Amino acid sequence: MDRIRTETTINETAAKLLEMFSGSGEDVCVTPRLKADTLEFIDLIRSALFPTVFQNRSRGSRSTSEGLSLLLWEGAETLRGLLKTVLPEGRDHDEIINGFLESLPGILATLRTDVHAAYLGDPAAVSDTEILVAYPSFEAVSIFRLAHRLYELEVPLIPRIMTEFAHRSTGIDIHPGATIGPYFFIDHGTGVVIGETCTIGHHVKLYQGVTLGAKSFELDEDGNPVKGVKRHPDIGNNVVIYAGATVLGGSTVVGDNCVIGGNVWLTHSVPQGESVYNNLG
């Protein structure tokens, strides 16, 4: 091996990579522990919400006021470390942390409605504990609801890491920007996609393979997708969407009490109380 030539090549390549990185516009230095600390944050907060289910054994018993306070303190400090990595200087970390912590009782109340919806919506469900421990819907939705609150608090990157972890674990891809009401249940779950600007009302049930996505993207003068516009549908209350259905478009509204059948491709609004089925084949 020509070590001198290899050394020269390495130095030249390193210089080129550094130059390319300097002009990339990347403003967050992602530490090796960013993902691991985000997952630890999820574990701590869910352990505080459901101490008898998600409790990490190494921490001992936490189902007391003192124990829950300690879990929340650990979670707050973990979040503080994450904020130092992803937020520019000048943002008030304490304001974000306190805003998140204050929202937890409300999040827990909503998650309890999701468990109830799963129990009523699946004849195979035998207990709340089974849903909490074994249902992919609860795994994905519980993480989503925590991530959504951070999204509302304008925390970058961390909410996406959280929901992508849920996506990898369950096959359910929910953008943290979506708005989802109480009593939400996804049966089976694999392949479900819910976009950033989607809104979903209360008592909504989705089956596997459902996509609530964008129909097309508005482009700027350079041909790039315009950010921050409404791209995904609105789903009303008491709606059921069966397996494989695709509902697209920011102006598409599925009204209250509608049923969307399996494998339907829907790009127009549906008035409340109607059913839409795929009659082909």
Q: CATH no. for residue 82?
A: 1.10.3130.10
Domain contains 86: yes
Q: Which of 119, 142, 171 is the last residue of a domain?
A: 171
Q: How many domains does the structure of the chain reveal?
A: 2
Whole-number Å distance between alpha carbons of 63 and 109: 17
- Domain holding 207, by residue range, is 191-281
Whole-number Å distance between alpha carbons of 255 and 271: 5
The model carries a pTM of 0.90
Same domain, 201 and 154: no
Q: What is the pLDDT along the chain (281 residues), one digit of tens a residue?
A: 578 889 999 999 999 988 887 766 565 566 678 999 999 999 999 999 998 888 654 455 556 788 899 999 999 999 999 999 999 777 899 999 999 999 999 999 999 999 999 999 999 999 999 999 999 999 999 999 999 999 999 999 999 999 999 999 999 999 999 999 999 999 999 999 999 999 999 999 999 999 999 987 777 777 787 788 899 999 999 999 999 999 999 999 999 999 999 999 999 999 999 999 986 54
Domain contains 6: no
What are the residues whose beta carbons fall under 8 Å from the beta carbon of 180, sequence distance 6 or more?
141, 144, 145, 148, 174, 194, 199, 200, 204
Same domain, 145 and 196: no
What are the residues whose beta carbons fall under 8 Å from the beta carbon of 109, sequence distance 6 or more?
none
Domain contains 18: no
Give the CA radius of gyration of the chain.
22
Same domain, 243 and 273: yes
